[in-house]
């Protein structure tokens, strides 16, 4: 199996499924299509990543994933600089937003594709200018959709969330497992791999 992503967060999460895999980062550009809703957009990006890597292979399974943040219909990608990161965090301050991860599994030999998306809701606490400045200075917002990492220092900005926690991190293991099994990779386990930070099962599995 191939993970078509350079994200260390996705690599660490995928390792929890216990299946051997290689990392082959996709070079597909992350270009938003304004005509698509957040879930369709995330799926399109994930498919583009998986297809780009699958085109170079003859067999196996390729997993692509892409996470986006949507605030009242506006898509927030990865900040390009300090000013853009601060702007995103200021927009998210005290508000609820949607985190969507698109998933795609492509079989190179048959061109069979399996794709879906998972959405979680995240609420930020009100942030002061000092809160934002300190967080941007930590450098954690960069290479993160929406300019924050819930599993890191960015967790201090979050007032609460609903749905799959791993989805907000970047790879909902609950849905990843389902897609891989649909593609013919037996991964059923006695204990759920997708869990909340406190160790309890992912709400999507209850």
Which residues does the annotation mark as catalytic? 66
CA-CA-CA-CA dihedral for 155, 68, 118, 109, to nearest 10: -130
Tell me the Ramachandran region of residue 188: left when phi exceeds 0, alpha when psi lies from -120 to 50, beta otherwise.
Answer: beta
Residue 63: which of 31, 121, 120, 20 has the closest Cα?
20
Instruction: List the helix and strand counts (H, then E) for the chain.
Output: 6, 7
């Amino acid at each position: 199996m191939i993970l078509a992503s350079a994200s260390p967060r996705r690599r660490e999460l995928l390792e929890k499924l216990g299946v051997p895999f290689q990392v082959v980062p996709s070079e597909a550009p992350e270009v938003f299509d304004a005509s698509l809703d957040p879930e369709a957009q995330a799926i399109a990006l994930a498919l583009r990543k998986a297809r780009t890597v699958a085109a170079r292979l003859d067999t196996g399974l390729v997993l692509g994933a892409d996470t986006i943040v949507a605030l009242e219909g506006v898509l927030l990608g990865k900040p390009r600089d300090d000013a853009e990161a601060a702007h995103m965090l200021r927009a998210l301050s005290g508000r609820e937003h949607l985190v969507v991860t698109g998933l795609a599994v492509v079989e190179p030999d048959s061109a069979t594709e399996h794709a879906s998306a998972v959405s979680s809701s995240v609420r930020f606490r009100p942030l002061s200018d000092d809160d934002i400045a300190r967080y941007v200075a930590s450098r954690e917002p960069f290479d993160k959709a929406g300019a924050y990492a819930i599993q890191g220092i960015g967790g201090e900005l979050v007032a609460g969330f609903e749905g799959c926690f791993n989805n907000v991190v970047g790879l909902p293991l609950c849905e990843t497992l389902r897609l891989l099994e649909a593609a013919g990779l037996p991964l059923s386990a006695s204990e759920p791999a997708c869990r909340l930070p406190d160790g309890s099962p992912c709400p999507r599995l209850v």
